């Protein structure tokens, strides 16, 4: 027998859900990690004798899987999570809340919200996320992600040039909707990719959703191509923005984007709730990805989760990942929950319990999400050579028993409650449900104070349907 190889970390006694091409599950599995990288995965009887670890973590028979990938969120809006209530109108959300908020918030308050968002994602088993390009100061997100120890993609702030989501929204003072400004800032975060090992990277993000001219769309696609990164934007969320696009473009937007050359394998559009029949083939042909943000559609009642085409596109081979969108769509940043809601909504909307299964939810949350954000060669599965982004579950829950189907258990039963330990880039950043690098209570204190301060400057009071007495 050869001499055991030195490794930094060994995870043993695990039900290892690899998400590799063969979707292998090792029921008594182990994972060895050296530095940032997974060096071996397989049965304990093969892996354990072959390595000499500095540290060993026993999963105690629990499920271990790749970290979840969050394809679309507005990270800094956690500063005022839930503040505008859950029945505000579409027109009021921009004019009465979002634009006043963005005109009032400062960098420290954005940073507090980003810290909370990163901490929440980590606690829920997410190890990588793509920010949607609506942080006024992208470095507030970058610093928060680095502090918590989570992998992140950041983009330039508010690249739009038509005038907001519907063309008539008031101005965001620090981000006026002009072509000159957007082109000047475009690609400004790609310097982060000079370090191939950087945990926080840059990508191209424009607002989209009826707020971007063809000139900006094509410039953004070209910048993504040059930088070897993805182009990320909102698209076809609801009837309102789709009607704006239809009127402005004179045809359905996905057909238009294909014809002018915007679509491609390095493009990810978020939402895509409203697609017409003639838009399906352009999506499929292009090789693009979709971030299906089912909770955000369901909260607003736009019908995307039940009547959209996401499940059918996924079945047709389109790369569909998952996103949470904004905390002010009353969402938690929990990709496992998003996967469960996507599965259940699709089944209910089609009256077909076979349209999506637990394994499909886990696929969208891991390998598909990694591909969607342009990191499929690095993360999304537990394989030798990939980065060690690993989630270790706990069996110390009623919902985790009996031990029958481990994938169904995490999709339908235990949810994020069972996330115990999270490893990102080979480093343990959550252990026993507690973050290793930041003080959670201090983060809560910061964001609670930030919420009070910015809402006071806005003069905004959260609507109450029931009396709240002192």
Q: Are residues 75 and 47 in the same domain?
A: no
> 124 with 333: CB under 8 angstroms?
yes
In a domain, 418, yes or no: yes
Structure token digits, residue 313: 């596109």
CATH number where 115 lies: 3.20.20.140
Using only C-alpha atoms, what is the Rg of the chain?
A: 22
In a domain, 44, yes or no: yes
Q: Are residues 137 and 240 in the same domain?
A: yes
Q: Which of 435, 450, 465 is a domain's end point?
A: 435
Q: Are residues 147 and 215 in the same domain?
A: yes
pLDDT of residue 45: 98
In a domain, 454, yes or no: no
> 134 with 158: CB under 8 angstroms?
yes
Q: Are residues 387 and 410 in the same domain?
A: yes
pLDDT of residue 60: 97
In a domain, 92, yes or no: yes
Q: Which of 325, 343, 372 is a domain's end point?
A: 372
Q: Are residues 138 and 205 in the same domain?
A: yes
- Enter the pTM of the model: 0.97
Q: Are residues 157 and 306 in the same domain?
A: yes
Q: Are residues 57 and 102 in the same domain?
A: no
pLDDT of residue 295: 92
Residue 395 sits in which domain range? 5-66+382-435
Q: Are residues 356 and 388 in the same domain?
A: no
Half-sphere exposure of residue 71, counting CA atoms within 13 Å on the CB side?
Answer: 38
Q: Are residues 231 and 307 in the same domain?
A: yes
In a domain, 459, yes or no: no
Paired residues of 38 in beta bridges: 33
| Cα 262 to Cα 90: distance, rounded to the nearest angstrom | 28
| Cα 153 to Cα 128: distance, rounded to the nearest angstrom | 8
Tell me the mean pLDDT per 10 residues along the chain, length 470.
92 98 98 98 98 98 98 96 86 85 97 98 98 97 98 97 64 92 98 98 96 97 98 95 93 98 98 97 98 92 90 98 86 95 95 97 98 98 98 97 96 97 98 98 98 97 90
Q: Which of 349, 372, 395 is a domain's end point?
A: 372
Q: Are residues 258 and 271 in the same domain?
A: yes
Structure token digits, residue 342: 């996507």
Q: Are residues 45 and 150 in the same domain?
A: no
Q: Is the dihedral of CA 403, 407, 411, 417 positive or negative?
A: positive
CATH number where 416 lies: 2.30.40.10
pLDDT of residue 169: 58
Q: Are residues 362 and 402 in the same domain?
A: no
Nearest residue to 335 (alpha-carbon basis) of 255, 389, 263, 257: 389
pLDDT of residue 93: 83
Nearest residue to 8 (alpha-carbon basis) of 30, 34, 40: 34
pLDDT of residue 434: 98
The count of structural domains within the chain is 2
In a domain, 261, yes or no: yes
In a domain, 468, yes or no: no
> 384 with 358: CB under 8 angstroms?
no
In 115-251, at which residue ranges do the beta strands (DSSP E only) sit? 126-131, 151-154, 200-202, 204-208, 231-235
In a domain, 466, yes or no: no
- In the numeric block, the tokens 């006071």 are attached to 456
């Amino acid at each position: 027998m050869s001499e055991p190889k030195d490794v930094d970390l060994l995870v043993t006694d695990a039900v290892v859900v690899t998400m590799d091409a063969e979707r292998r599950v090792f029921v008594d599995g182990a994972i060895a990690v050296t530095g940032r990288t997974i060096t071996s995965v397989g049965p304990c009887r093969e892996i354990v004798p072959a390595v000499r670890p500095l540290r060993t973590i026993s999963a105690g028979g629990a499920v271990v899987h790749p970290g979840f990938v969050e394809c679309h969120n507005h990270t800094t809006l956690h500063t005022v999570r839930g503040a505008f209530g859950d029945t505000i109108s579409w027109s009021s959300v921009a004019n009465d809340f979002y634009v006043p908020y963005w005109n009032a918030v400062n960098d420290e308050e954005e940073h507090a919200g980003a810290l909370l968002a990163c901490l929440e994602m980590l606690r829920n088993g997410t190890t990588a996320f793509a920010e949607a390009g609506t942080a006024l100061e992208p470095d507030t997100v970058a610093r928060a992600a680095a502090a918590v120890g989570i992998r992140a993609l950041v983009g330039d702030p508010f690249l739009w040039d038509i005038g907001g989501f519907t063309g008539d929204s008031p101005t965001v003072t620090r981000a006026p909707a002009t072509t000159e400004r957007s082109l000047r800032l475009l690609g400004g975060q790609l310097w982060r990719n000079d370090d191939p090992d950087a945990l926080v990277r840059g990508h191209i993000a424009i607002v989209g959703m009826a707020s971007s001219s063809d000139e900006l769309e094509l410039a953004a696609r070209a910048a993504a191509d040059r930088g070897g990164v993805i182009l990320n934007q909102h698209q076809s969320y609801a009837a309102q923005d789709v009607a704006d696009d239809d009127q402005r473009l004179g045809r359905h937007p996905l057909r238009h984007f294909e014809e002018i050359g915007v679509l491609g394998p390095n493009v990810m559009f978020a939402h895509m709730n409203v697609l017409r029949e003639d838009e399906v083939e352009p999506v499929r042909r292009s090789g693009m990805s979709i971030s299906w943000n089912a909770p955000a559609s369901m909260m607003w009642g736009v019908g995307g989760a039940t009547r959209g085409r996401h499940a059918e596109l996924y079945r047709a081979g389109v790369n569909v990942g998952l996103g949470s969108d904004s905390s002010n769509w009353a969402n938690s940043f929990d990709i496992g929950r998003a996967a469960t809601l996507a599965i259940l909504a699709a089944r209910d909307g089609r009256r077909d319990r076979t349209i999506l299964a637990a394994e499909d939810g886990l696929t969208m949350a891991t390998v598909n999400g990694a591909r969607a954000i342009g990191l499929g060669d690095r993360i999304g599965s537990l394989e030798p050579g990939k980065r060690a982004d690993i989630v270790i579950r706990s069996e110390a829950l009623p919902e985790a028993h009996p031990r029958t189907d481990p994938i169904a258990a995490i999709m339908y039963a235990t949810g994020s409650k069972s996330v115990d330990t999270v490893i990102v880039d080979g480093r343990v950043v959550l252990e026993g449900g507690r973050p290793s690098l930041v003080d959670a209570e201090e983060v809560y204190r910061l964001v609670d104070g930030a919420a009070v301060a910015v809402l006071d400057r806005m003069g905004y009071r959260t609507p109450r349907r029931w009396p709240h007495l002192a």
